Amino acid sequence: MNYVKAAVVSVLLVAGCSTPGAQSPGQRRQGPDSLMLWYDEPAQKWTEALPVGNGRLGAMVFGTVEIEQLQLNEDTVWAGKPVERDRAGAHKHLAEARRLIFEGKYAEGQKIMQQEFMGPRLVRGYQTLGDLKLRFAGGQGAADYRRQLDLDRAIASVTYRAGDAIFTREVFSSPVDQCIVVRLSCSKRGRITFDAALSRPADFIVETIAPDRIVMIGQATQAGQHKGVKFEAQLRIIPEGGELKTTDEGLRLENANAATLLIVAGTDYRQDNPSMLCDEYMAGVVGKKYRALRRAHVAEHRRLFRRVALDLGATGAAAARLSE
């Protein structure tokens, strides 16, 4: 995961925006459900994934049938310490830097700015929290695929048919419970089977805590140096039926009717002990039913999202007449 991309998605999640990429969306329905973006294929790259977020905690949802990927973000995962970059006498070089830029000599002007104003070029960067990957069984030959983002509810979802069963996934990041929630369901009982694992590019260790939890901890660095925040992410699986067991990579749920996955995360930026913070988040959410989590999330999102409306004017035949 490119760390610049991670920073971009953090901004988008705070702003409540969507970046579906170059794919063409399906038709938007009229009325209350008009703010629906949908696609008939999974995301092939990061910029096509669908974002969910609550301003602090977010995910990019790829929607692949057999291997789902949620690229996770927490807004304080930064490498390195704050760096003092003010340099005495730097103002003496400003006129020369401006002259070079105005003459189109951008590289020369940038070099002066970096050397005389900002010092070393190395910038401590924002980083992805990591990835949740779900490997599903029984998705071969899937049909009637649909991936969508409901902007009015801030819920990303995937549906497809495999054999005689319809599989559904829903993902949202609750601003009420400070938790990413993933719901897996099927029209036929006993058809939900998957493996779950947490990882990130570097600087982490993962521990599977029987019977239902994965914990990922680490400290963000820049190329192994410049230690930044300490972080922790926890995944908890709440099955409905089936058998949940540990594996070498994480957790495996077999032959369940449905499952709810809860993801919480924190760093020592806001609290000295990110583990304690995650435990508090998880304790506050683990006893709640999925419908209650979803209902509270949608209500709080709509309280903010529906404060304003954007009217772009006439559409269809009326717009055609206006353009004549």
pLDDT, tens only, 62-72: 999 999 999 99
Task: Specify the pLDDT at position 90.
Answer: 86
Task: Specify the pLDDT at position 314.
Answer: 59
178/216 same-domain check: yes
202 lies in a domain?
yes
134/237 same-domain check: yes
159/118 same-domain check: no
62/186 same-domain check: yes
Task: Specify the pLDDT at position 123.
Answer: 60
Distance CA 98, CA 113 (A): 9
CATH of the domain at 176: 2.70.98.50
310 lies in a domain?
no
Q: Is the pLDDT of residue 2 over 50?
A: no
313 lies in a domain?
no
- Dihedral of alpha carbons 267, 79, 261, 46, sign: positive
118/144 same-domain check: no
Task: Specify the pLDDT at position 11.
Answer: 38
Q: Is the pLDDT of residue 161 over 60?
A: yes
Domain containing residue 181: 3-79+130-305
CA angle 308, 147, 167 (to 5 degrees): 125
Hey, what are 146's tokens?
């649909």
Radius of gyration of the chain (CA): 23
Helix (H, G, I), strand (E, B) or coil at 93: helix
Q: Could you give the number of structural domains in the chain? A: 2
315 lies in a domain?
no
185 contacts 256 by C-beta, under 8 angstroms:
no
Q: Residue 122 — pLDDT band, cuts 50, 70, 90?
A: low
191/117 same-domain check: no
Mean pLDDT of all residues in 144-165: 96
Task: Specify the pLDDT at position 85.
Answer: 65
173 lies in a domain?
yes
169/243 same-domain check: yes
Task: Specify the pLDDT at position 316.
Answer: 56
233/169 same-domain check: yes
Task: Specify the pLDDT at position 77.
Answer: 96
- Does 320 or 70 have the greater pLDDT score? 70
Q: Residue 87 — pLDDT band, cuts 50, 70, 90?
A: confident
172 lies in a domain?
yes
Distance CA 324, CA 318 (A): 10
Q: Which of 4, 5, 3 is nearest to 49 (CA)?
A: 5
Mean pLDDT of all residues in 89-112: 92
Strand ranges (DSSP E) for the chain? 36-39, 50-53, 57-61, 67-74, 130-136, 143-150, 155-162, 165-174, 179-186, 192-199, 204-209, 213-219, 230-240, 243-246, 251-256, 258-267
59 contacts 43 by C-beta, under 8 angstroms:
no
177/118 same-domain check: no
Taking all residues of the chain, what is their mean pLDDT, rounded to a whole number? 86
199/229 same-domain check: yes
Q: Is the pLDDT of residue 24 over 60?
A: no
- Does 301 or 5 have the greater pLDDT score? 301
- Dihedral of alpha carbons 47, 126, 14, 273, sign: positive
Phi, psi of 273 (to 5 degrees): -115, 95
294 lies in a domain?
yes
Task: Specify the pLDDT at position 324.
Answer: 46
Q: What is the pTM of this model?
A: 0.80
Task: Specify the pLDDT at position 6.
Answer: 44
Mean pLDDT of all residues in 129-152: 93
Q: Which of 110, 172, 184 is nearest to 296 (CA)?
A: 172
160/287 same-domain check: yes
112/144 same-domain check: no
Q: Residue 148 — pLDDT band, cuts 50, 70, 90?
A: very high
Domain endpoint, select from 63, 97, 123 = 123
314 lies in a domain?
no
Q: Is the pLDDT of residue 323 over 70?
A: no
pLDDT tens-digit profile of 193-250?
A: 999 999 999 999 999 998 999 999 999 998 888 899 999 999 999 999 999 999 999 9
Q: Which of 3-17, 105-119, 165-179, 218-232 has the lowest mean pLDDT?
A: 3-17
